Structure 1
Amino acid sequence: MSAAPRPYAWYFYPLNWLLLALAHLPLAVLYVAARGIYLLLAYVVRYRWRVVLDNLRHAFPEKEEAEIRQIGRQFYWHFAQVLVEILKLAAISPAELHRRMHFTNPELMTGPFAQNRFVLSLGSHRGNWEWLLSGAELEFPGRAAGVYKPLNNRFFEHFMRRLRTRLGADAVPMLGTLRYFVQHRRQGRTISLLTDQAAGPEDRPYWTSFMHREAGFYTSAERLAQQFDCAVLYVGIRRARRGYYEITFTQLPDGQAATAAAHAPDEAQRYPITEAFVRCLETDIRATPEQYLWTHRRWKHKRNG
C-alpha cells in the first residue's frame, strides 16, 4: 500500500515546524516580534514604501506630506501586527479568538439564515481580514465560507488553507465558487468575498471613483446575488485595540434589487451592490486609514481607451 503523497516538497517541512512553533507562542510575545517586523519593513527594507506613499497621496490629497508619511508608518505597524496574528491562527484556541472578535449587529446575518438564504459578505483588506473568516465561523457555527485565490507555491497554499479552515470555516477556491453555491443553496450560509481586489479591463469590471482615482471592481457579487437571491452585507472590520477587532455589518442591495437594476441606463445603477460596497469602504478607510492594505496595488489597472 503506497504512502499518501506529500502535499509539498520535503525541504519545506523544517519551515512548517518553525512556523507552528512560533504560532504556539503567546500573542504578547508575538507582538514583540511584530515590533521588529515593523522596523524592518518600514525603515530597513522599506517594503513598497513608494507604493504606500503614492496610494496615500492620491487617497488623501487634502493632507500634508508629513501626515501622509505618519499614516504610512502607522500602517506598517498595523500590518506587522496582522502578520503575527495570521500566524497565530495555527494555534489560537476557539475561545480566545471568539473573545477577540466582537460582532456588533449579528442579527443582520442570522435573519437571512432563518429564511435559509445565502448571504454574500463583502469584505476588504482592512483590519484583519484573515481572522474575520474564522471569527465568523465561531459566531455562526457551520455557516461561514470564504473565497480565495490559490497560491502558486504548494507549501504556502497548504499552510494558508490549513489556517483558514482549522476552526471549521470552508475555504473555497475562486474557480469553485459557483459549485459551492449550487451544493449549499437553501442552507442558510454566508460566503465571504474580498471585493476590493483589483479587476483588470479583461475582467469586464465596473469602473468607478474610489478614493479619488478610477478603479475597476469585479462584478461577481452582482451576478451571484441575482442568480441565488442572496442577501448582501458589507463587512466592516476595524482594530478596536491591540488584538481585538470590531465587526459591523451594513445591509446592501440584495439579489432582487440587483435583478431589478440590471438593465438600468446608468452604469452605477446597474451595479448597485458594488457601488454601495465602494462607498461603505471609502467611509471606513477615511475613519481609520492606517488599517487599510496600502501596499496593495489597487489602482494598477486602467480602463481601456
Structure 2
Amino acid sequence: MPPSTPAKPYPWYLRPVNWLLIGLSRLPLPVLYFFADGIYLLLAYGIRYRWRVITENIRNSFPEKTEAEVAATGRAFYRHFAQVIVEILKLRTISAAELGRRVRFTNPELIEPLFAAGRTVLTLGSHAGNWEWILSGAAVRFPGRADGVYKPLSSPFFESFMYELRTRSGAVLVPMRNTLRYLLSTRGEGRSLSLLTDQAAGPRDSPYWTTFLHQDTSFYTSADRLAPQLQAPVFYVSIQRVRRGYYNITITLLYDGYAPIEKGSYPIAEAFARLLERDIQAAPAQYLWSHRRWKHKR
C-alpha cells in the first residue's frame, strides 16, 4: 500500500506562511532555542495556555505535591513544551545525519532480528519527551522499516505541513482508519508500526480501564487485539531527554507475538500503563499535561 497523502490542497495565500516556517526551520537549533525561551515566557506569564488543565492534571497525578510544587512543575512543562515546539519545526529541514546524532537508540539489537525475519512489529509510544522525533529518528536508524499511525488534521494547511515534516526522513504515515488494512498489506515485510496509545480512549473504543497516576484511566486496546492475530511482537518506547536537543530511546518487549491472550484480558495495555507511569514519575515536566487525558469516566 503506498503512503497516504494529504487529502486537500491548502489555499494559495497560505504559501508565504509555509515559506516562513521553512525559513525558520533552517535556523540552527541553538538559535531556535532562543525563540523557545520567548515562547516559554509567553506561555508561562502571558497567555498561560491551558493552565487550569495542566495544573489539575498534575495535582491529581501527584497528590503528594504542594500547590507550589504543582505550579513549579507546570512552569517546567511550559519550558519543555516550548523546546519541543521548535524541535518539531526543525524536523522540516534537519538532515538525517544530525537527527541520527541527536536521537540515539540504546538497544536496537532487540528489534533488528525481527525486521530481518520479516516480522511485523508494533511499537507503543506516548506524548512524553519529543514524541515527533521518535518516528523520524526510527526512520533514520531503521531505513524503510518505520511506519506510524496518525490522525489527519482538520486544517488542510497544517495537515500538509505536518505530513511533509513527518515523512522527510522516510517514515510512512498511516491514517488511523486504515491501520488494519495497512498491517495486512505489509505483513511479512519486516516493518514497525508506531502508535501513540496514551490518549483518552472513549466508550466506543472498547477501552481498558486501570488505575494510572492515582486516577481511573482508559487505554486503547488495539495492540491486545491485533498483536495475537498478526503474531506481532509489541514494544514499549521510552524517550528521555539527555540534554537540550538530545534524546535516548529505549524499547521494552511487552509481548512476543505468540503467547495467547485471553478474551477480555489486556496484558499489553496494562504493561504499557505501568511503564509510562514510571517514566512520567521520573520526569514529570516532560509529559504533555495540556491535553485532556482524563476527560472520560469509567
- Bin the TM-score by the shorter chain: over 0.9
Q: Which residue of 2 aligns with 1:36?
A: 38
Q: Deviations over 1:60-102 (max 9, x none)?
A: 1111221111111111000000000000001101100000011
- Partners of 2:8 and 2:156 within 8 A in 1: no
Structure 2 equivalent of residue 273 of structure 1: 268
Unaligned runs of 5+ in 1: none
Residue number in structure 1 paired with 2:3:
none
User: Aligned pair 1:188/2:190, yes or no?
Assistant: yes
> Aligned match of 1:53 in 49, 52, 55?
55
SS in 1 for 2:234: strand
| Identity across matched positions, percent | 64
1:211 aligns with 2:205: no
CA drift of 1:183 comes to 1.5
1:142/1:169 contact within 8 Å kept: yes
What is the aligned partner in structure 2 of residue 82 from structure 1?
Answer: 84
Counterpart of 1:128?
Answer: 130
1:9-57 Cα offsets, whole Å, 9 max, x none, are: 1121111011011011111110000000001111100000111100001
Equivalent residue, structure 1, for 2:22 = 20
Separation in 2, partners of 1:193, 1:6: 24
Alignment-mate amino acid for residue 283 of structure 1: R
How far apart in 1 are the matches of 2:205 and 2:115? 31
Counterpart residue identity of residue 290, structure 2 = T
Give SS of 2:149's match.
strand
For 2:55, give the aligned amino acid: L
Q: Tell me which of 286, 294, 297 is aligned to 2:289.
A: 294
Counterparts of 2:87 and 2:174 in 1: how far apart (Å)? 22
For structure 1, which segment, 55-64 or 110-119, has the greater mean C-alpha deviation from structure 2 after superposition? 110-119
TM-score, normalised to structure 2, is 0.96
Distance 1:262 1:154 in 2: 42
Deviation at 1:255, TM superposition (A): 3.2
Alignment-mate amino acid for residue 76 of structure 1: Y
Alignment of 1:30-179 (within 5 A): 30-179=32-181
CA distance in 1, matches of 2:13, 2:212: 43
Q: Give the distance between the partners of 2:290 and 2:157, measured in 1 at CA.
A: 23
Deviations 1:187-220 (A, max 9, x none): 1111100010111112211111111111111111
CA contact (8 A) 2:228 2:261 kept: no
Q: In structure 2, what is the equivalent of residue 235 of structure 1?
A: 237
State the shift of 1:253 in Å.
Answer: 2.0
Letter in 2 for 1:277: F
What is the CA–CA distance in structure 2 between the aligned matches of 1:26 and 1:233, rounded to whole Å?
A: 33
For residues 100-124 of structure 1, give each alpha carbon's deviation from its aligned partner in whole angstroms, at most 9, with x where no partner exists: 0111101111121122111100000
What residue number does 1:10 align with? 12
CA distance 1:34–1:115, change in 2 (3 Å)? same
Distance 1:211 1:256 in 2: 30
TM-score, normalised on structure 1? 0.93
Which whole-Å CA distance do the structure 2 matches of 1:181 and 1:104 have between them? 26
Provide the rounded CA distance (Å) in 2 between the counterparts of 1:188 and 1:228. Answer: 12
The whole-number CA distance in structure 2 between the counterparts of 1:253 and 1:94 is 31
SS at match of 2:153: coil
Is the CA contact 2:150–2:173 (under 8 Å) kept in the aligned structure 1?
A: yes
Offset of 1:6 from its aligned partner? Answer: 7.4
Amino acid at match of 1:275: E
Unaligned runs of 5+ in 2: 1-6
Offset at residue 137 of structure 1 (A): 0.7
CA contact 2:100–2:141 (8 Å) conserved in 1: yes
User: 2:155 corresponds to which letter in structure 1?
Assistant: N
